[in-house]
């Protein structure tokens, strides 16, 4: 028998009352450890939990479809336990690089391939825009008040260093966009 380093062999069930007859106690313990999941009472049924609450119970075929839909359409994670218990952990975005009020619009502040900061402020003539850049949280590096151009390009020399900078775009004293940009060296 060929054994890979760090991988334990799968010991098949032979159907005998003494499946490991003539083997050592260590291999018998190994057999019971890795084949104990096959002794489920409700074989082929899966119970789905989310936030420690039972959602529903599925057959094996329905569970395969459910598992595939979770994997392909969401960022949630499925954890399987013994006896057909499946736990859903919803995806939580802890770091949001950019938040927008209207997700259909492209970002107003972004960096291009060369590392320059581009501002795209639609209808800047009609709205009072204010763009603030922060070096550290709550420490304003500089701000641009009421620009008259729709598209502006800021050079890297306007920023003290390379790295991450936070920004806010205000339109008529209403926060429209908040996020972070990265300036390379």
pLDDT at residue 45, as a whole number? 87
Most confident region among 48-52, 64-68, 157-161, 168-172 by mean pLDDT: 168-172
Quote the CA–CA distance of 157 and 115 in Å, as a whole number. 11
Which is more confident, 184 or 15? 184
pLDDT at residue 7, as a whole number? 39
Instruction: Tokens for 161, please give them.
Output: 């260093």
In the chain, list all ranges with CATH 2.60.40.10: 98-183
Q: Work out the angle at residue 54's Cα, subtended by the Cα atoms of residues 46 and 57, and round it to the nearest 5 degrees.
A: 30
Q: What is the pLDDT of residues 111-125, one digit of tens each?
A: 988 889 999 998 888
> Is CATH 2.60.40.10 correct for 98-183?
yes
Q: What is the pLDDT of residues 25-36, one digit of tens each?
A: 544 444 444 444
Predicted confidence (pLDDT) at residue 164 exceeds the cutoff of 80: yes
User: What pTM does this model have?
Assistant: 0.45
Which is more confident, 1 or 166? 166
- Helix, strand, coil content of the chain in percent (nearest 5): 20, 40, 45
Query: Closest Cα partner for 89 from 102, 108, 76?
Result: 76
DSSP state of 102: S
Rg (the chain; Cα; Å): 29
Say how many residues make up the chain: 185
Quote the CA–CA distance of 171 and 178 in Å, as a whole number. 12
- β-partners of residue 171 are 129, 174
Mean pLDDT, residues 81-96: 72
Cβ pair 143, 132 in contact under 8 A? yes
């Amino acid at each position: 028998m060929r054994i890979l380093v760090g991988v334990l062999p799968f010991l098949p069930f032979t159907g005998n009352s003494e499946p490991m007859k003539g083997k050592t106690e260590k291999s018998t313990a190994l057999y019971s450890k890795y084949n104990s999941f096959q002794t489920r009472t409700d074989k082929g049924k899966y119970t789905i939990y989310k936030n420690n609450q039972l959602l529903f119970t599925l057959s094996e075929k329905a569970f395969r479809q459910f598992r595939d839909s979770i994997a392909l359409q969401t960022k949630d994670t499925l954890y399987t336990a013994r006896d057909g218990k499946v736990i859903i952990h919803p995806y939580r975005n802890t770091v949001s690089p950019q938040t927008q009020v209207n997700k259909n619009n492209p970002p107003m502040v972004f960096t291009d391939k060369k590392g320059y900061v581009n501002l795209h402020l639609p209808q800047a003539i009609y709205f009072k825009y204010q763009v603030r850049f922060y070096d550290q949280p709550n420490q304003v590096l500089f701000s641009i008040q009421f620009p008259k151009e729709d598209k502006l390009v800021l050079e890297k020399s306007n920023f003290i260093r390379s790295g991450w900078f936070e920004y806010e775009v205000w339109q008529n004293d209403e926060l429209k966009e908040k996020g972070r940009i990265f300036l390379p060296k």
